[in-house]
Chains A and B, each alone.
Chain A
Amino acid sequence: MSSLKSFIKSVRAAKTMADERAVIQKESAAIRTSFREDFTDTHMRRQNIAKLLYLFTLGERTHFGQIECLKLLATSKFSDKRLGYLGTMLLLDENQEVLTLVTNSLKNDLNHPNQYVVGLALCTLGNIASQEMARDLFTDVEKLVVTQNPYLRKKAALCAMRIIRKVPELQERFVDKAKSLLGDHHHGVLICGMTLVYDLCLEDANLIPQFRQFIPSLIRQLKSLTTSGYAPEHDVAGVSDPFLQVKILRLLRVLGRGDQSATEQMNDILAQIATNTDSSKNVGNSILYEAVLTILDIDADSGLRVLGINILGRFLGNKDNNVKYVGLNTLSKVVELEPNAVQRHRNTILECLHDADISIRRRALDLSFDLINDQNVRVLVRELLVFLESADTEFKANMTVQICIAADKYAPNKRWHIDTVLRVLKLAGNYVSEQIISQFIALVSNTTSMHLYTVQKLYSLLRSDITQEGLTLAGTWVIGEYGDELLKAGAFEDEETMLDVKEADVVQIFDSILHSTYATQTVQEYVLDALAKLSTRMSDPGQIERIRRLISSQTTALDVEIQQRAVEYAALFGHDDIRRGVLEKMPAAVIREDRKLQPEKKAAVKGGVPKPQPKSETDILLDLMSGDEDAAAPSSRVSPANGDLLAMALGGGGALPSVPTRATNGKTNGNPSDLLADVFGGGSVSAATSPSQQANGQQTITDILGLFSTPSPSAPSPPVPVPAPAPVVDAPASGQTYPAYTAYDQNGLSLTLQPIRDATTPAGVVNIVASFANTGPDALDHITFQVAVPKTQQVELRPISKPDLAPGETASQAVRVTASVGAQVRLRLRVSFGRNGHDVVDQMVFNQFPADLLAS
């Protein structure tokens, strides 16, 4: 067996990790063997335990040495005991079962005549006492808390703290003894006593009042520490016992909280510390910091609170990053309590945005957003925009959201609001979320007076930079939508340069975007929409032809969504008479409060989770009908009445060219483009009967609806299922029995619709039972079934009886349609459900009900 020293040396001498492991394992094995064999040799045992502790420090397994270590405790030799206790504290913790074996040794040693042995026992107890040990030994500790020996008193005080943490009901045994410690003359005892009292107060707030009587003496102690001058024993860089000062301030905080008279007693000394403590070194700042926390936590008078905030403000100007960090951290905590006082340090906070330490920058940024209000929004947002340009990449996404929220909340006028978002798009267009873009579009579409300004700005921005996706998307949409205003106004001046606006220039921009490397899928989709719209807003046949060619070039795009759009728009060129109507301007978007931007990251930082907004049933339906669009994307959502649903469905479809669709949508079935396809499936018929020029989009929609009242609409694209023979349905005896019509039978789901009318049914009303059956081998979940009717009719839906169907199961849902007598019932159906983890969404037109269904 080698000595400890040579063992350490050989571990250090190991050249590779493998060598080191080998040395350690060899020694570890030797120690085990030695434990088994030489159970009498105490010298050997000492050496082994010492090595074991080295192994522990290295992070090796040491559990096999626990018992040997405890054997050392029982010896009478001090050095053995010392090593034994050291080992016990390191190798054991409160959760080890063998700890019960220590209790007896501790009990003996706590009553040992030698104070050093008692000290060791107290130290062990304080560090690893378990609940049982606390119960078994508290009486011994109780005695030691008031012993003559200050060295044992302080250790006993901390042991007492540990004991009451483990067994709170023992508190009262220590309350009076703790009081005696508060007047102690020995600094170590005082510190430990304060810790004990502080802990007692935290554990049980009912104890606080009885400690309030010590406030004057605590204040006296604090005063003597701050005015006594140089005291070599506890001096730290010219400050007298900063640790004790911090402890006293902390205890005062607990005692003064929520108590007016206690607070009044403290005001003076807190003011004194806040003004007189030397803030040039860390040690002074640690006291200032504690004092500020106390000032802000108790109901100190307002002057003092402002002084406290000002100290934190000064922290921000400190050269030491630690002090800055603490200052920013604390200011963020108090900004809501003392907004005005914190505002005064705005400039210093903004300077911290440019600090070299990223954690300082992050905190300064969070705090800056907290500071924004309607008075300073211009200044702060300007600063933040400057910072945005150079900000760390990881900040940008959150910053764009936060700036847009601030702009939305506090914008002094629309022009400023639009300018701000434009700056964000320009500076960080690659980091903005889709939501910001849709909010911006909604904002623009609602601000008629700014259309020309916005479109010109975006035109100018896009001419110089197409690398920022967010900017490109917003610009594409706005130029597509308001291109006519841009063209009508002609050349304009932007930032002292004249910009020509010719139709060719506008098309050229889109041409270059489409063929650039920055054209993501979403960008391409937006560009196609914009081009289609522009084809009705331009007059030069050459340019219109160029647009047609551009669109046609995408009909072979690899992405199905882009291809579909291109094909549909290209087809639209064949129907000049309706194209103009279809591509009319969008109605102004409705900005819904519940869909406003949420500060995501910020909420997470503050420990809250942004609550998902509850959606009403109607909302969900509307959302679905407009093709999963974001609320802000313009589509006509004027009235939630069910009767308007079809109008809306078609509004979504008819207005599609102007509706940007989410790139990540993926659910092609759910896209409004299908609706469009359907409309154009029968387009020629309806077009022939409708005037091609309409004043606004809403009317166009109504006219397209003419499709439904034309006597013989051409078949919409989904194949029309043949009416199935009626299964037996228990229709009311007095009523007329109709067969059940199969409306859908795909993907394992069969859906039949059976109209029911009886004597009690009012005229013009039909009840329809929709029956769902799972005909496939897979379970279907979250079945939702929606029905839309033409504008002149109304529909009412009951909830489905069972939204999740196992194979073979059935469910039903009641539908009620109200129309005028004699009207033909035509339904647009939408079914969605989950199957094998995939979402299936299907839409179809259903018009197989007998024409005379509502005849009477």
Chain B
Amino acid sequence: MTNRHSAIACISRMLQFILVQNRQGKTRLAKYYTPYDDEEKVKLKGEVHRLVAPRDQKYQSNFVEFRNFKIVYRRYAGLFFCVCVDSNDNELAYLEAIHFFVEVLDTFFGNVCELDLVFNFYKVYAILDEVFLAGEIEETSKDVVLHRLEFLDRLE
């Protein structure tokens, strides 16, 4: 418990968490790379949804300040893909990273939609673990990730 506080203060180069929410604020994916307790998680989700959902898609940037961090988000149809990053980090690169993840999902499910994420949520987590690890991007080749997932599924 003791190093929770210092962890947030000194680790500044990674994702804090990734959330995928729909327009109503229902969470479709939640992955935390720093520990939060249950109440905190509920609060985070609510706050992020309220920050991101009302923003104008056309006239507003895809970055919102959030506590001491920054939310970088992208909207795909009715889904918001949000990552919480250090406020000095390269926001533009994270936009690319989100897009990369979504492209992997898209290829994996073949034209992904919200329902795919709902019914195959455990697969989505598995895909996420092949793209991000310990809050850092791990692989930037779509083929490598998909190839890997194919193997993993074959082992099941």
Contacts and interface: CB of A to CB of B under 8 A. Distances in A.
Contact of B92 (A165, A192, A285): A285
A396 interface: no
B93 A59 contact: no
Nearest to B33: A127
Contacts of A89: 125, 129
Interface string A537-563: 000000000000000000000000000
Given A82-B126, A131-B3, A283-B96, A191 B137 contact: yes
A757 interface: no
Residue among A61, A126, A166, A323 facing the most chain B CB atoms (10 A cut-off) = A126
A723 B4 CA distance: 69
Contacts of B60: 321, 357-359
Interface stretch (A67-75, A194-202, A528-536, A577-585): A194-202
Contacts of A628: none
A151 interface: yes
Interface core residue of B60, B143, B151 (most chain A CB under 10 Å): B60
A285 B36 CA distance: 33
Most chain A CB inside 10 Å of its own CB: which residue of B56, B125, B133: B133
Contacts of A285: 92
B136 A188 contact: no
Interface residues of B, number: 56
Interface in B103-156: 118-119, 121-122, 125-126, 129, 133-134, 136-141, 143-144, 148, 151-152, 155-156
Interface string B76-113: 00000000000000111101110010000000000000
Contacts of B156: 78-79, 82
Contacts of B41: 59
Interface residues of A, number: 71
A243 B29 CA distance: 23
A574 B155 CA distance: 105
A322 B62 contact: yes
B51 to A, nearest CB: 12
Contacts of A369: none
A734 interface: no
B155 A116 contact: yes
Contacts of B100: 236, 243
A250 B144 CA distance: 24
B32 interface: yes
Contact of A286 (B1, B96, B122): B96
A50 interface: yes
Residue of A12, A57, A162 most packed against chain B (CB within 10 A): A57
A273 interface: no
Contact of A325 (B13, B31, B56, B61): B61
A509 to B, nearest CB: 44
Given A57-B28, A86-B125, A233-B141, A155 B133 contact: yes
Contact of A162 (B31, B134, B151): B134
Contacts of A90: 31, 125
A59 B45 contact: yes
A241 interface: yes
Given A83-B122, A94-B35, A188-B144, A195 B136 contact: yes
Contact of B96 (A53, A155, A233, A243): A243
B98 to A, nearest CB: 11
A246 B122 contact: no
B155 A155 contact: no
Contacts of A8: 118-119
Nearest to B144: A188
B144 A282 contact: no
Contact of B133 (A127, A187, A290, A356): A127
A54 interface: yes
B96 A242 contact: yes
B13 A158 contact: no
Nearest to A94: B35
Q: Ordered nearest first, which 7 A-B pairs have the shortest CB separation?
A: A286-B92, A93-B35, A356-B59, A126-B134, A325-B61, A321-B61, A79-B156
Given A159-B134, A243-B97, 15 more contacts: A53-B121, A57-B30, A57-B121, A59-B45, A78-B155, A79-B155, A79-B156, A82-B152, A89-B125, A122-B133, A191-B137, A234-B141, A323-B92, A325-B61, A325-B91
Interface of A: 5, 8, 12, 50, 53-54, 56-59, 61, 78-79, 82-83, 86, 89-90, 93-95, 116, 122-123, 126-127, 131, 151, 154-155, 158-159, 161-162, 165-166, 187-188, 191-192, 195, 198-199, 202, 233-234, 236, 241-244, 246, 250, 282-283, 285-286, 289-290, 293, 321-326, 356-360
17 contacts: A57-B27, A78-B156, A82-B126, A82-B155, A122-B133, A123-B133, A165-B11, A191-B139, A195-B13, A234-B140, A246-B90, A282-B96, A321-B62, A322-B91, A326-B91, A356-B56, A358-B60
